[in-house]
Amino acid sequence: MKTPPSVRKRLLQVINKDRRVTIPDVVAATGLSLDAVANGLNELAYETKADLEVTSSGLIYYSFPADLHFRLYSSRLAALIHRAWALVSPVLNFAFRISFGLMLLLSLLFVSSIMLVLQLMMAAASGNTTSAVDLLKDYFALLKRLAVLQHVLPSQSFFKQKLVISDQLSASPESTTAENISESQKDQGFLLNCYSFLFGPGDPNRDFEAYQSYLAAQLIREKHGIVLPDELAPYTGVDPNDTKNMFPYLARFNGMPATTPSGQLIYLFPDLQAGVSGIASDTHALSSVHKHKHKHKHKHALNESKPANQPMIEDQWTEHAEDEPQNLAIDRLERSHLPDKLLKQKLLFAGIGRDAMLQTVALAGANFVGTLFFWWLLFAARSSSINTTNIFLLLAVYAAFFLLVPAIRWVLLQFENAAIQRYNQRIEQFAKILEEPSSELISKLKEAERMRQEAKERTTPETLVYTTKRDFLEQEADRLSEPM
C-alpha cells in the first residue's frame, strides 16, 4: 500500500533532524501507528537506497543518505518517465509496425505516379485526350482500391488487435495457440499485414516453458510428490531413462531421485506432498471451467484424453489389478483435468488470410519490378543526375528487402517446424506408452501408487491452531480442554 503524502511529509520531517532512526523513535516523534511508520520507512528506504543496521540487541536502524532529497526527486522523475513511456510506447510500437507498409505504399505510389506522368505526356504528345482521362480514372481507382487512408489511421481493426493481444497476454498458455494468432490477425489491415508478412505473427510457444512447469507441478502435486519418470515424460519431454535432463525440475521443485522397493527409479518431491487432496480438487474445478470457456477457441495443442482409448486402459488396469485394493485403480483417469500430453505449436509464416497475403506479395513484387526498372532505365541512359539514380536504387533495395526477408524467414521456419514436429512425435510416443502400458510399466505404476498410499497414511491431518474468527481466549480454552 502506498504511503499517503501527509504521512511521508511527517516522516521526512523526523528524518531531516536525524538521518539514523528506528521505528519506535519515529512513532514517538510523529504519533503515527506502527504499521504506517514501518511501511513509510520501508518505502523511503527503497526509493533512496538507504542502509539497514541491526544491533546486537536486535534493534533495527534506518540509515538514510545525506543526499536524501536528491534521491527522492530522482526516484520521482524516474517514475514519471516510466509512466510517460508506458503511455507513449504503444503509439510508437504501432507507428513502427505500420512504417513498413507505409514505405511500401509510398514507394509504389511514387513509381506509379512517374509512370502515369510519362503516359500522360505520351498521350498529350499524340493528341489523344481520351486516353489521358482514362489513365487518370484508372490511377484514382487504384488509390481507392488500396484504401490508403483507411489503413493509415488507427481504425477499428487496430483497437481490435490491441484487445486480442491483451487477451493473449492475460490468458493461460494453452489458449495462446497458433490458430488463435492466425484468426486474430486476419482483419488487421494492410499496413499491419505488411509487418506480419515481414516478421511473422510471433512465437505461439513463448509461454511454453512456464506452462510446462505448471503441468509438471500439478502432476507432482496430484501424485503426492511421488512420480515415475514415465509419468512426467509426456509433459517435460525428458526421456524416462535420461536422469541428467531431469535435474532442472528436481532443482525447481526441490525433488530427489530414489528407488522403489523393487529397485525402479522414482522421483520424490516432499515439499509438494502436503495438502494435495484439497488443492487437486480445487484445481480440477477451476480447470473444468477454464476448458469450457476456451473450448470453442482452438484445437487442443494440449490434447485431452481420448475417450476411445480410456476403456482399453481401464480394461488393462482391471485385468492386472484384480488382487489389489479398490483404491489402487488407475489414478491417471481421475486427473482428467490435466491434458494427456503437452505439444508445441508449429510456427506460422505470417498469420494472415490468403487474400491479404496475395495482396501484400503482389504489391511488393510490383514495387520491386517498378523501382528496378526505373533505376536500370536511368542508369543505362546516364542522362539523369546521380541523386535521382540513387533514390531509385534505394527504393529498389527496400523493395528487395521486402521480398528477401520473408523468403529467408520461410526457409528458417521449415527447419524450426521440423524440430517442433520431432519434439511432438517424441511426446506422442511417451503418451502412448502410458495409454498402452506394458506389463513392466503396469507393475511400476502399481508400485508407485502403493508408495503414495503409504505416504498419505503417514501424513498427519492438519488442524487449525488459531483463527481470527474466534476470540483468542476461547480458542486457548478449547485447546486446553482437548484430551492429550
DSSP secondary structure string for all residues of 39-80: HHHHHHHHHHT-EEEE-TT--EEEE--TTHHHHHHHHHHHHH
Torsion angle of the four alpha carbons 47, 50, 56, 58, in this order, in degrees rounded to the nearest 10 = -20
15, 64 contact by CB (below 8 A): yes
Amino acid at 483: P
Neighbouring CB atoms inside 10 A of 342's CB total: 24
pLDDT of residue 3: 84
175, 294 contact by CB (below 8 A): yes
Q: How far apart are CA 452 and CA 51, in angstroms?
A: 49
Which residue is it, cell 488393462?
316
DSSP 275: T
pLDDT of residue 183: 45
3-state secondary structure of 240: coil
Contacts of 344 (CB under 8 A, 6+ apart): 205, 208, 301, 420, 423, 424
- Of 117, 482, 452, nearest in space to 269 by CA: 452
Torsion angle of the four alpha carbons 411, 412, 418, 421, in this order, in degrees rounded to the nearest 10 = -120
3-state secondary structure of 17: helix
Concatenating the DSSP letter of every residue in 302-339 gives SPPPPTTTHHHHHHHHHHHTTTS-GGGS-TTTT-TTS-
Q: What is the CATH code of the structural domain delimited by 5-66? A: 1.10.10.10
pLDDT of residue 383: 55
Contacts of 243 (CB under 8 A, 6+ apart): 229, 257, 265
Query: pTM to 2 decimals?
Result: 0.62
Q: How far apart are CA 220 and CA 90, in angstroms?
A: 40
Concatenating the DSSP letter of every residue in 339-399 gives -S---PPPPPSS-S-HHHHHHHHHHHHHHHHHHHHHHHHHHHH--S-HHHHHHHHHHHHHH
Listed by start position, the domains of the chain span: 5-66, 154-293+300-312+330-456
pLDDT of residue 106: 84
Q: How far apart are CA 271 and CA 54, in angstroms?
A: 32
- Of 195, 192, 249, nearest in space to 220 by CA: 249
266, 449 contact by CB (below 8 A): no
List per-block mean pLDDT (blocks of 10 residues) for the chain, which spans 484 residues.
85 89 91 90 89 85 89 88 91 88 83 76 69 67 56 46 40 42 55 86 89 91 90 91 86 88 89 56 37 38 38 33 38 59 91 82 85 77 64 84 91 94 94 90 90 80 72 78 69
Contacts of 15 (CB under 8 A, 6+ apart): 21, 44, 64, 68
Phi, psi at 79, each rounded to 5°: -65, -40
DSSP 299: -
Helical packing angle, 354-381 and 386-435, nearest 10°: 150
User: Distance of CA 352 to CAs 107, 203, 227, 348, Å?
Assistant: 23, 14, 43, 9
- Of 167, 191, 120, nearest in space to 359 by CA: 191
Q: How many CA atoms lie within 13 A of 237 on its CB side?
A: 16
CB neighbour class for 228 (10 Å; exposed up to 12, middle 13-18, buried from 19): buried
445, 379 contact by CB (below 8 A): no
